Structure 1
């Protein structure tokens, strides 16, 4: 029946007793609700894709007029009852090995209800129309909606292309389900790929298995599939602009079908390409030849290629195309929802203007009044013990903002992390704080990270802390940012796990977090620039607390350091070995200050400018 509102428990309806019971632990059993339906030989014989067997003439007959009305309606059988489920059989299971009769023992069904089939609760009635208006109605959520909607011609072509790709690669075959085996159901996922200006580039249909119904050790053993990190993406783009390298984009057609399904699914590296996997990001590939280098970034089916030699880039792209079916999009201008805008001064700006517009419309804030900073300095938020929550899409809004701050907007990192502390029981004042972030984005929707040309590769880090800034538990906030070519390549804002007894202790804990991130970034950067025959920069972190710097060099200061957890004292070892260098800077020029607390409008603008965040030119 759902979750209990006042405790962490389930609301379960007892059929025999006829009443609702509150229970912390439940076993979900779908077998008594008819979810396990046997599949007969007749069902297997009836499995086909007749709905998709349309020739070009039939597709042309289903075009629409400019008014959106159909010229010809679908046949009745096209919108009839749902089709029988196709059986996906794991490799190695032969049809002849199945016994003729089912065992009397009923297999335990551990399937859970498909969350996509349930109706979401209506918890934001006041602005429901605003949310509905922002939904992309051209992306259907079900198969029936796709083949009967206004864009059915495009979706049918996309479905046909997906099934044809699966047929050519032998992805699955129809078969009788052997006794003792479970059928993992499938789902069609429809997505429209758009260009930077929002126009439609391609209709994509993907047939996927409902992985949440798989059983560990039987249907799968490992689900990890890495994608390139945003830090690596930003770093490679910045370095490419520094050296004047081109950045090309490739799109892998049906990328997931190139994996070999056993216990795990991997993309096989093509033979002859001679690529080395980065030691610090498994989705960064490096190729060197005759003093030149090529870098390949992989994010599922999006591939970026850059390097010092046009000839080597072309050769690498051709090698990839011989192994994978790819489309060459040429110069990269839009990747992972991020626009790459070249400036007249040779700079490149990474921004998400369209995404900001989308989330403003989604949450009904597209007509709001802009403000100069994302945090209201006149109020301080605290946790609430109220039994009711604000009637607003708080979690959805914070999640959308987190994606933005992770990719291109470090200027809202603290503000988003601040409101995320109240996810469990958000109140009206917390929702007002979220809306203020939207109001700030309204006035800065074209802002992004700008990497500029420089005579040398300038890399430096900043670490800061806001002591006892959380009024609820008096814990501090750590913040860091690492600058590359005049703009941040990595940043973070995180509430500290323990209460600090002094500003020195808070800064010391924050410095530990910054060094952990900085060492990985520094090694990745050195790997990239050394492939380009350049010398890697040193790891220098700026700190505005003199006592903290002295503590890293002098372990005798027991009065302030004896109670600090030993895990933070790796700082001393890093400094002693020369892996990290610390440099004092004044608080006025501490760029990580914006990651630890809210700032007034003029100061916030000053910090964003110093961070290299500026408005992108059209």
Structure 2
């Protein structure tokens, strides 16, 4: 979901589309049930002659597990009748074309974001929606799913200032001392010398709340992923490490992700891996970031499911996972009618992984690599993908695979276009 939002916002900026937000009042009450559901009569509203009878529901109610699906089914059918087409790559996105103009809808339960190339076409669509559903027209898009969209001279800055402030207040860390990086370089996360937490719920709440903050803060993605690996049995040192993430956020509370309006339509992928980085399991961490022109639209930090026997295999896995994400983004762009004129540019700092991607020869050094990873070779042979080596000093995906010194961390954060709103 974050990748889709970043992608469409980037396109809207480049094409100067109108951005509008709608909210459906009592959305679930519009859903029509396809299953037989009964409910007890509400207290105080029992039928005087049949107090023990139950009600057969024809429409959804809040609290039913069928309600979200019933509402989306109703809305989707209405949009399809209007001439919209449902995106194959993401079922929550709908696209409408009228000549050279188009409308793109992103739907998240009862929140609907409208992107349109024509103001009159957008107004006509809003009128059609209002005639069918009880709607709230929230005007120009400036706040969506807890994300603040701040226009500036460069384009659009995505912030979660209010959400970050509420988290600091919730966990009583609003007066904590800020730090320069979210992780301490010498902390051993797998140490068992620290006592287990008597009540791990607070740790789980803190880490869970940070996961949503990664929507606009790629600089904490690796730290949050690392903290998430100890949710089952957190120790005191883990809690202190998570508090350090909050201390970093306290000093960068007004930071966000900058999207540029003057950007090209080309995909660039940076992938990296920290071979055997976990001292307990010896598994590696996959990290990647994907740019559409100058705009960062997708990123990830995740531990690999199995142990890699070599650094080449670990890097190759990361390369393939990033390629799969870029391929999916290409499908989204095609559904939107955007066709890239240049192949995806993939950058990796491991020469062995690049050779393995280009070399179709099956030899002893690649026997341990799962065959399904080699789909990337087909991408190269078809000209859809171009791999190149990037020096480690220019590897932007380093931020998602390892703990970095403060100077290196700040440089990569700036190169990923995460900065303060005060610098506008």
TM-score by length of 2: 0.86
Q: Does 1:245 align with 2:54?
A: no
Give the SS at the match of 1:604: helix
| Corresponding residue of 1:108 | none
Matches for 1:234-383 after TM superposition, within 5 Å: 234-263=6-35, 265=70, 266-268=73-75, 269-270=77-78, 272-345=81-154, 347-382=155-190
Shift of 1:459: 2.5
Shift of 1:529: 4.6
Quickly say closer, same or farther: Cα 1:571–1:456, change in 2 above 3 A. Answer: closer
User: Residues 512-550 of structure 1, C-alpha deviation per residue, up to 9 Å, x if partnerless?
Assistant: 2112211111221233253xxx65653222111111111
| Corresponding residue of 1:511 | 319
Higher relative contact order (CA 8 A, sep 6+): 2
Report the structure, 1 or 2, having the larger strand content: 2
Give the SS at the match of 1:267: helix
Shift of 1:486: 2.1
Q: Distance in 2 between matches of 1:279 and 1:435?
A: 41
Shift of 1:455: 5.1
User: Residues 78-128 of structure 1, C-alpha deviation per residue, up to 9 Å, x if partnerless?
Assistant: xxxxxxxxxxxxxxxxxxxxxxxxxxxxxxxxxxxxxxxxxxxxxxxxxxx
User: Unaligned regions of 5+ residues in structure 2, if any?
Assistant: 36-65
Shift of 1:350: 0.6
Quickly say closer, same or farther: Cα 1:506–1:535, change in 2 above 3 A. Answer: closer
On the 8 A contact 1:526/1:537 being kept in 2, the answer is: no
- Determine which of 572, 579, 585 is the counterpart of 2:384: 579
On the 8 A contact 1:525/1:536 being kept in 2, the answer is: no
Q: Does 1:593 align with 2:401?
A: no
Q: Distance in 2 between matches of 1:286 and 1:536?
A: 22
| Corresponding residue of 1:183 | none
| Corresponding residue of 2:62 | none
Quickly say closer, same or farther: Cα 1:585–1:390, change in 2 above 3 A. Answer: farther
Q: Does 1:384 align with 2:192?
A: yes
Shift of 1:387: 8.0
Give the SS at the match of 1:270: helix
Matches for 1:543-558 after TM superposition, within 5 Å: 543-556=348-361, 558=363
On the 8 A contact 1:295/1:307 being kept in 2, the answer is: yes
On the 8 A contact 1:277/1:286 being kept in 2, the answer is: yes
On the 8 A contact 1:390/1:426 being kept in 2, the answer is: no
Q: Distance in 2 between matches of 1:551 and 1:485?
A: 27
User: Unaligned regions of 5+ residues in structure 1, if any?
Assistant: 1-228
Q: Distance in 2 between matches of 1:342 and 1:537?
A: 30
User: Residues 184-225 of structure 1, C-alpha deviation per residue, up to 9 Å, x if partnerless?
Assistant: xxxxxxxxxxxxxxxxxxxxxxxxxxxxxxxxxxxxxxxxxx
| Corresponding residue of 1:197 | none
Q: Does 1:232 align with 2:40?
A: no
On the 8 A contact 1:383/1:422 being kept in 2, the answer is: no
On the 8 A contact 2:158/2:257 being kept in 1, the answer is: yes
Give the SS at the match of 2:336: helix
Shift of 1:390: 5.0
On the 8 A contact 1:383/1:472 being kept in 2, the answer is: no
Q: Distance in 1 between matches of 2:148 and 2:128?
A: 27
Shift of 1:231: 1.5
Q: Distance in 2 between matches of 1:377 and 1:576?
A: 41
Matches for 1:387-402 after TM superposition, within 5 Å: 388-389=196-197, 391=199, 393-402=202-211
Q: Distance in 2 between matches of 1:505 and 1:535?
A: 30
Q: Distance in 1 between matches of 2:172 and 2:342?
A: 46
State the superposition RMSD in angstroms: 1.9
On the 8 A contact 1:591/1:611 being kept in 2, the answer is: yes
Q: Distance in 2 between matches of 1:383 and 1:260?
A: 54
On the 8 A contact 2:194/2:236 being kept in 1, the answer is: no
On the 8 A contact 2:264/2:292 being kept in 1, the answer is: no
Report the more deviating stretch, 468-477 or 447-456. Answer: 447-456
Matches for 1:369-448 after TM superposition, within 5 Å: 369-382=177-190, 384=192, 388-389=196-197, 391=199, 393-405=202-214, 407-448=215-256
On the 8 A contact 2:183/2:244 being kept in 1, the answer is: yes
Shift of 1:383: 5.4
Shift of 1:511: 1.2
| Corresponding residue of 1:568 | 373
Give the SS at the match of 2:343: coil
- Determine which of 267, 270, 287 is the counterpart of 1:462: 270
Q: Distance in 1 between matches of 2:393 and 2:305?
A: 27
User: Residues 127-170 of structure 1, C-alpha deviation per residue, up to 9 Å, x if partnerless?
Assistant: xxxxxxxxxxxxxxxxxxxxxxxxxxxxxxxxxxxxxxxxxxxx
Give the SS at the match of 2:6: helix
Q: Does 1:496 align with 2:301?
A: no
